[in-house]
């Protein structure tokens, strides 16, 4: 009697539940879109990352654009919920931090925790290579929702500081968004760092920026 020998089963092989395969494809796609950008992402690479065939990817999501939209619709709520939870409880181990510093530290820590192992989720929401179409519209809608959320959080901090000028608010939102994006980009350059390590680094930086300047004694005037 002969024994047939087969190679290791692929994730897309028969018997794997559809939702499991779909989740694996989404994770692989988010990683690919986040690293290569929409323009550079390839369905063949996504399929290889998920250990399924390109045909199966298309069978589940129909097209590259629809796969990207599915990633966006998963990534947006993850980011939104992480920020919501942090804003509701801006705890910080650094008691001397400003209110902005405490809020920023809490939000960054929550984001890093939610996106550990999948920084591509952030990158794909802010992809500059998207062509005009439904994919760009979907990403814009998620970014708009996140910007409204940021504006509310920043407004609360500014009011506590006695700032009510709308120009201050619009500037602060852009500064905040740039800070978060820069932090996520920095993490993507060294993805081996854990969320805890990245959070600790950001907390140290924010604490340093929030630390009151030491008082100085005017130097004796030169003759």
Residue 22: its pLDDT value, please? 96
- CATH number belonging to the domain at 68-210, selected among 1.20.1440.230, 1.10.357.10, 1.10.240.10, 1.10.1500.10: 1.10.357.10
Torsion of CA 187, 190, 195, 196, to 10 degrees: -110
Provide the 3-class DSSP secondary structure of residue 47: helix
Torsion of CA 126, 82, 202, 158, to 10 degrees: 90
> Residues 6 or more apart from 45 whose CB is under 8 A from it?
32, 36
Residue 61: its pLDDT value, please? 97
Residue 93: its pLDDT value, please? 52
Contact 147, 177 (CB under 8 A): yes
- Summarize pLDDT for 16-48 with one digit per residue, the tens: 899 999 999 999 999 999 999 999 999 999 999
Q: Which residues of the chain have pLDDT under 70?
A: 1-14, 89-97, 211-223
> Which stretch of DSSP H or E encloses residue 36?
helix 18-40
Chain-centroid distance, C-alpha 159: 27
Residue 191: its pLDDT value, please? 87
Residue extents of the structural domains in the chain: 68-210
**Residue 141 corresponds to which tokens in the numbers above?**
């809608």
Scanning the structure block, which residue is given the tokens 């920084």? 119
Residue 37: its pLDDT value, please? 96
Residue 94: its pLDDT value, please? 56
């Amino acid at each position: 009697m002969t024994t047939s020998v087969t190679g290791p089963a692929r994730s897309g092989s028969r018997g794997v539940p559809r939702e499991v395969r779909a989740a694996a494809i989404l994770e692989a796609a988010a990683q690919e879109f986040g690293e290569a950008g929409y323009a550079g992402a390839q369905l063949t690479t996504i399929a290889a990352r998920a250990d399924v065939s390109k045909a199966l990817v298309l069978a589940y999501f129909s097209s590259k654009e629809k796969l990207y939209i599915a990633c966006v619709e998963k990534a947006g709520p993850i980011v939104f919920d992480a920020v919501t939870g942090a804003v509701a409880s801006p705890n910080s181990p650094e008691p001397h931090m400003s209110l902005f510093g405490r809020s920023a530290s809490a939000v960054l820590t929550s984001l890093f925790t939610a996106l550990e192992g999948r920084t591509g989720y952030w990158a794909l929401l802010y992809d500059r290579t998207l062509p005009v179409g439904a994919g760009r519209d979907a990403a814009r809608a998620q970014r708009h929702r996140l910007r409204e959320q940021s504006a509310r959080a920043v407004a609360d901090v500014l009011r506590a500081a006695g700032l009510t000028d709308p120009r201050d608010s619009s500037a602060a939102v852009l500064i905040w968004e740039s800070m978060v994006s820069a932090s996520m980009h920095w993490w993507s350059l060294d993805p081996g760092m854990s969320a805890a390590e990245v959070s600790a680094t950001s907390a140290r930086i924010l604490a340093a920026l929030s630390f009151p300047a030491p008082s100085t004694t005017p130097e004796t005037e030169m003759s």
